[in-house]
């Protein structure tokens, strides 16, 4: 096994030196496959209170429904100011947002006792998009100004090496004098779909746009990462948001796209279209013109901020606290059955929310979802959402920290 790891490290460095500039720098590879016992451990990331230079601690728990975990002398420290997380192939990836500089990427798995162990630690480009696609983690570096090319990198989720890359000119992609800024990536069938917003990309209104009432999704072949088509719609605004993928594929192959209708010009909301959900039917590369789920109308003026998929066509919608706004705190939640276009407010949500998580866990049973909620009065809890009752309640308490993500691994 030592020979195998050494070989992977050598091949990885050769591949990366040829593939990107700057190359990823492997400082450690420690991955050995083990037989699973059938157990599950939950990974909760939390920013410790009153510290500097630490992004989060990685904490583990056997149960999200009750109990307590603490950041005090516990967990695995993640350095930097901001981290984002993704799980794929039963590995947990922690990515440092380097503010334009290279960022550390660290991968973990559980050993046979349920202990979280580090597998590999390396440097990558700072990226704005990450997604699980086939056997890879797809990373995309999207420049908001200056450079007109977005870099797309395929990282093998088990070998921790770049196995392919591509560049795409985002000014040419937008085709309107602005630039396409990818908000996320979703594998649909054997392709990857990238929703994007059109932005000016120039000071003083970098994220402003002159095109607030359109939606776009770029379709790329995979693994070649060649642009095949752009899907357009004008019934709502752009899909998702910055660091927020708004496109989700269901078990039946249909994909649903979520828009907060939050486009701005000079920091002022200007979209005339409503916050809504639109659909791409299985096997097609067009929006279904017969489908339109107007969430703003159903909710009485509220806009979508994010969504958590819990399976069987059921989502927990995260909505801004106040109606007719597209910024500020997120403190309203609702259950949305996107197939049957049913909407219901969730009860049991605390009133003084200061932070909610967007990277969340669900067993995909169509009923349960686990979302981190921090309040000024109660601190940070994993809230257990029951979609069948449209009710949320406090579950696991995280002491000494603010929850930033919730995931699960098997061992």
Residues 367-378 have a mean pLDDT of 97
**Whole-angstrom Cα distance, residue 381 to residue 359?**
14
Within 10 angstroms of residue 158's Cβ, the number of other Cβ atoms is: 19
Give me 77's structure tokens. 């420290």
How far is it, in rounded angstroms, from Cα 93 to Cα 104?
10
Q: Which residues have CB under 8 Å from 326's CB, separation 6+?
A: 260, 261, 262, 264, 269, 275, 303, 320
Work out the pLDDT band at 105, boundaries 50, 70, 90: confident
Sorting pLDDT into bands at 50, 70 and 90, what band is 23? Answer: very low
- Tell me if 348 is assigned to some domain: no
> pLDDT value at position 1?
40
The answer as to whether 312 is a domain residue is: no
Residue 171 sits in a domain whose CATH number is 2.40.10.480
The whole-angstrom separation of Cα 192 and Cα 362 is 23
Across the chain, mean pLDDT equals 91
Instruction: With respect to residue 273, please indicate whether it lies within any of the assigned structural domains.
Output: no
Q: Is residue 401 part of a domain?
A: no
**pLDDT at site 5:** 40
Q: What is the CA radius of gyration of the chain?
A: 21
Q: Which two tokens stand for residue 47?
A: 């920013």
- Structural domain of residue 176, as residue ranges? 128-243
Query: Does the residue 172 lie in any domain?
Result: yes
Dihedrals phi, psi of 12, to nearest 5 degrees: -60, -45
Of 19-23, 39-43, 212-216, 272-276, the range with the lowest mean pLDDT is 19-23
Question: What's the pLDDT score for residue 358?
Answer: 96
Q: Answer yes or no: is 260 within a domain.
A: no
Per-residue pLDDT reduced to its tens digit, 112-150? 999 999 998 877 777 899 999 999 999 999 999 999 999
Q: How many domains does the chain have?
A: 1
Question: Which residue spans within 157-250 are E strands per DSSP?
Answer: 162-169, 179-182, 186-188, 191-199, 215-221, 227-233, 247-249
Asked whether residue 69 is domain-assigned, the answer is: no
- CA–CA distance, 170 with 393 (Å, rounded to integer): 43
Task: Report the distance separating Cα 330 and Cα 303, nearest Å.
Answer: 10
Looking at the domain assignment, is residue 142 inside a domain?
A: yes
Report whether pLDDT(18) > 70. no
Q: What is the pTM of this model?
A: 0.91
């Amino acid at each position: 096994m030592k020979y195998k790891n050494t070989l992977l490290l050598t091949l990885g460095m050769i591949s990366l030196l040829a593939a990107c500039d700057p190359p990823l720098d492997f400082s450690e590879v420690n991955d050995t496959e083990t037989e699973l016992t059938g157990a599950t451990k939950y990974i909760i990331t939390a920013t410790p209170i009153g510290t500097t230079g630490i992004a989060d601690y990685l904490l583990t728990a056997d149960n999200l429904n009750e109990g307590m975990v603490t950041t005090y002398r516990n967990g695995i420290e993640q350095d930097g100011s901001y981290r984002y997380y993704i799980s794929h192939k039963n590995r947990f990836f922690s990515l440092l947002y380097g503010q334009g500089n290279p960022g550390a990427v660290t991968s973990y798995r559980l050993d046979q006792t349920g202990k979280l162990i580090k597998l590999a630690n390396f440097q990558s480009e700072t990226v704005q998009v990450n997604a699980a696609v086939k056997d890879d983690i797809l990373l995309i570096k999207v420049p908001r100004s200056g450079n007109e090319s977005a870099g797309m990198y395929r990282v093998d989720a088990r070998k921790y090496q770049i196995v392919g890359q591509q560049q795409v000119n985002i000014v040419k992609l937008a085709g309107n004098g602005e630039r396409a800024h990818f908000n996320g990536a979703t594998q649909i069938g054997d392709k990857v779909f990238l929703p994007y917003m059109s932005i000016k990309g120039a000071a003083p209104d970098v994220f402003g746009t002159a095109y607030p009432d359109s939606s776009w999704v770029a379709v790329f072949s995979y693994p070649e990462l060649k642009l095949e088509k752009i899907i357009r719609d004008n019934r709502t605004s752009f899909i998702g948001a910055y660091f927020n993928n708004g496109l989700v594929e269901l078990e039946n192959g249909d994909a649903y796209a979520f828009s907060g209708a939050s486009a701005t010009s000079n920091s002022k909301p200007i979209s005339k279209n409503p916050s809504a959900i639109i659909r791409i039917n299985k096997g097609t590369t067009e929006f279904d013109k017969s489908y339109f789920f107007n969430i703003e109308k159903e909710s009485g003026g509220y806009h979508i901020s994010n969504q958590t998929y819990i399976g069987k066509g059921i989502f927990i919608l995260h909505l801004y606290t106040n109606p007719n706004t597209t910024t500020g705190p997120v403190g309203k939640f609702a259950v949305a059955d996107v197939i049957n276009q049913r909407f219901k407010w969730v009860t049991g949500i605390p009133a003084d929310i200061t932070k909610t998580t967007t990277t969340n866990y669900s067993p995909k049973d169509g009923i349960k979802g686990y979302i981190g909620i921090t309040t000024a009065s109660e601190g940070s809890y994993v809230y257990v959402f029951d979609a069948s009752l449209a009710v949320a309640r406090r579950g696991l308490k995280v002491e000494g920290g603010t929850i930033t993500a919730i995931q699960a691994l098997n061992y």
